[in-house]
A = this chain, B = another copy of it.
């Protein structure tokens, strides 16, 4: 392979079919932001939209906005838009609450579908909130249901007749490993086990085909690749075929068939609306909708192709430029098995990441030793990757990381 030069990458950026999207984000000067997998960047349209919601919709129209400005339908409207991004149909996705709460909703729903089974199955090393919600259910049911965590590669053999539900993350938050949704769902279904897919690190980063995979339930995050803002509302998918068979455990007033009848007894709304609970956060929904609208302008296959290329380029350049510095790849090398992120082990990972951030290359650190770099294809360029690796090399060569380590120790003592 001939040596890559920065000029080659700038040329690649000039023919990138997604190149027009970068100008639609407000990106800070002097920063190469490789953390869009944790908190996505600010779309330029968001500030004006949120301001309009605050000053006109809330300030002037006040309570009338629930109808006049359609606040009441925001969870379903934004849900329908997200549905398009994840291979679901209108009426199968609703926005609201957090990913954690939505995991709980899905888990308790599957328990009703499989009331004769008692094991909640997931894997070790998953993003922990998914496992924690299982542990909460275990306590709440006094042990009637039990969590079982097995290593990632032992999932298939763990699918036995006791399993009430399998909960898996599609793209692992730390390793970036992507699961084969179709094969796993089919295997679980063959044993009559419903599957909940956590799409937090997939939605907006790659094509997802929930209905094509015959998925049962899914949840996902609004503030990562969907660029919905800090703590944006999450989303929940429930396949049409399951919706009428589930009485939500988190049965809030907005999930009622007639919320404004104020009846003493809960009667679930038809369809996906029963998965609503309390009053939706309208500022958060509004910001999320802008991010989702922007994402819907992009071609998801192009996003995936660019994401894979950015990741491959980063791996290759780190191997070339930083071969003396003991970085060990911590994600799949094969782009098909890798999400829109690359991670490396390094025993000084925390200090190195602090030094990088001080230089404006923002990724993040995940214990115990993982440096994680995310590539949001709508606003990250090939030249960014070159520059980031150059800075990584400088940080390692100059010993800046070691100074960060020193500062860190000084701060602790």
Q: Which of B62, B282, B367 contacts A28 (CB under 8 A)? A: B62
| Nearest CB of B to A53, in Å | 8
Contact pick for A262, options B137, B174, B277, B281, CB 8 Å: B174
If A100-B277, A129-B253 touch, does A362 touch B62 (CB 8 Å cutoff)? yes
**Copies per complex of this chain:** 2
Interface residues on A, range: 35 or more
Does B54 contact A278, Cβ atoms closer than 8 Å?
Answer: no
Residues of the B chain whose Cβ atoms lie less than 8 Å from the Cβ of A282: 229-231
Residues B26 and A38 in contact, CB atoms below 8 Å apart: no
What residue of chain B has the Cβ atom nearest to residue A25's Cβ?
A: B59
Asked if A182 is at the interface of the complex by the 8 Å CB criterion, the answer is: no
Proximity string of chain A (212-238) to chain B, C-beta cutoff 8 Å, 1 when within and 0 when not: 000000000001000001111110000
Q: Given A58-B229, A60-B28, A101-B277 in contact, is the A264-B136 Cβ separation under 8 Å?
A: no
A266→B136 contact, CB < 8 A: yes
Give me 21 A-to-B residue pairs in the complex whose CB atoms sit less than 8 angstroms apart, sorted by A's number.
A39-B58, A42-B58, A50-B50, A51-B51, A57-B230, A58-B230, A71-B230, A71-B231, A112-B139, A128-B266, A129-B253, A132-B255, A136-B249, A136-B251, A141-B141, A230-B282, A230-B283, A231-B281, A260-B367, A281-B284, A283-B283
A125 at the interface (CB under 8 A from B): yes
| Contact pattern, A 45-70, Cβ under 8 Å of B = 1, otherwise 0 | 01100110011011111111100000
Say yes or no: A62 contacts B47, CB within 8 Å.
no
Contact B137 A249 (CB under 8 A): yes
Q: Output the nearest chain B residue to A258 by Cβ-Cβ distance.
A: B367
Q: Which residue of B lies closest to A366 (CB)?
A: B262
Contact assessment for B256 and A132 in the assembled complex, using a CB-CB cutoff below 8 Å: yes
Besides the contacts A38-B63, A111-B140, A129-B278, what 5 more A-B pairs have beta carbons closer than 8 Å? A28-B60, A132-B255, A230-B282, A232-B281, A284-B284
Interface residues of A in 129-160 (CB under 8 A from B): 129, 131-133, 135-137, 139-142, 144, 149
The contact of A128 among B229, B253, B366, by CB within 8 Å, is B253
A197 at the B interface (CB under 8 A): no
- A residues 317-343 with Cβ under 8 Å of B? none
| Min distance, Cβ A145 to any Cβ of chain B, angstroms | 10
Cβ contact within 8 Å between B283 and A229:
yes
Residues of chain B within 8 A (CB-CB) of A278 are 97-101, 129, 234
A287 on the interface (CB 8 Å rule)?
A: yes
Q: Which of B39, B251, B279, B280 contacts A63 (CB 8 A)?
A: B39
Other-chain contact of A127, B104, B223, B247, B262 (Cβ < 8 Å): B262
Query: Who on chain B is nearest to A280 by CB?
Result: B231
Query: What chain B residues lie within 8 Å of A60 (beta carbons)?
Result: 26, 28
The distance in angstroms between the C-alpha atoms of A367 and B258, with both chains bound, is: 11
Inter-subunit contact A124/B63 (CB<8 Å): no
